[in-house]
Homo-oligomer: A and B are copies of this chain.
Amino acid sequence: MTGRSRFVSAADVAERAGVSRSAVSRAYTPGAHVSAETRRRIYAAAEELGYRVNRLARSLHQPRSDLVGVVGANLANPYISAQLAALSAALQRRRLQCLLLNTAGSGPGAQEDLARLLDYRVRTVVLLSGAAPDALIRLCAQNGARMVLINRPAPPEGAAADLILADSAEGGRLAAARLRAAGCRNVAVVISASRTSAKLDRARAFAEDMARHGVPVTRWAKGENSYQTGVEAARALLARPGIDGIFGVTDEIALGVLNTARAEMGRRVPDDLSVIGFDDAPVSAWASHGLTTVAQSLEALTAATLEAIDCAPEAPPLHLRLPVALVERSSVALAAHRHDVIVP
């Protein structure tokens, strides 16, 4: 069709419509002036040829692109996938494009893969999983891209990145208080092995709060952030009697615990064991689970992310702390009755 290239270009359209290339360019530039007749002929020619403005070429002129890099690892995780669904839909509404990077597929070269996002001149890099090495944050700054960290640990120091954090400490305390109210006297917290991120904060706040009230806490920290980790934790922790409450730092983990406790370890939940999670993933509300959990609002998270994305490149970093709330369902005992404890 075009002769010289696979793609149809503005020159092709110009020739077809009998106008100059500049006219074509103007016809697709919002602020430009073209006569109605010229525009009509250009659009007609474009339609026939299947012409589309090449945004790759266009972006060479613009100070920043419409590309937003989104980085995740556990894309099949119920909460992460809900996050991604909400974020990508919101980006779509703003006419921003989402360049998705799944670091689970990148092996040891993850750092390099992350950097490669910048090759596409993304205006922002949003991190849903993993950590942000300061080298990468510096790279972003040098290339005029903002970096948004969602429930990630704060960067080393001085490194400028937007921070969006659900209130992990408050969430950990809420979970602890709720289990105590249920009369639990010997609890466990299940974390994955990941040493980064908000998950540690949730666990720490939980443990501290329990310690302050004299309740012993067993820590289980192996595996990745997955359902399977919850399964294995439950098998180990419930092998013998004792534990009467478990906090999974993630709904997915907590659901692994919950299901294994019931199906394999012969526990009645919440009668013998109370289980509580963190996230409020859609699946936690299903009748098969009824997981009591600490909710972080997806809407608030998405709105905050968009706010960060809208920031000018040189604007000072944003630090947003999002509130959390306890969602009561049926995986935690209603009140203390098995131990004759007075709820504070």
Binding site for B on A (CB under 8 A): 1, 5-8, 49-50, 52-57, 59-60, 63-65, 70, 74-76, 78, 81-82, 84-85, 88-93, 95, 97-107, 113, 115-116, 118-121, 138-139, 141-144, 227, 255, 258-260, 262-264, 282-283, 286-289, 313
Contact = CB atoms under 8 A, between A and B. Distances in A.
Contacts of A7: 121, 143-144
Nearest to A141: B50
A285 to B, nearest CB: 9
A143 B287 contact: no
Give the residue among A7, A107, A138 with the most B Cβ atoms within 10 A: A7
Nearest to A86: B76
B313 A286 contact: no
B52 A56 contact: no
Given A82-B76, A121-B7, A288-B263, A97 B98 contact: no
B84 A92 contact: no
A105 B93 contact: yes
A167 to B, nearest CB: 24
Contacts of A75: 81, 84-85, 88
A270 to B, nearest CB: 15
A293 B52 CA distance: 43
A53 B119 contact: yes
B120 A102 contact: no
Contacts of A102: 85, 88-89, 91-92, 98
A60 B56 contact: yes
Contacts of A227: 282, 286
A54 B121 contact: yes
A260 to B, nearest CB: 7
Give the residue among A50, A144, A227 with the most B Cβ atoms within 10 A: A50
Contacts of A120: 55-56, 97
Contacts of A282: 76, 227
Given A91-B102, A262-B287, 17 more contacts: A55-B120, A56-B121, A76-B78, A76-B81, A76-B82, A76-B85, A78-B283, A81-B84, A81-B85, A90-B105, A92-B102, A97-B101, A98-B99, A99-B99, A258-B288, A259-B286, A263-B288
A1 to B, nearest CB: 7
Contacts of A85: 74-76, 81, 102, 104
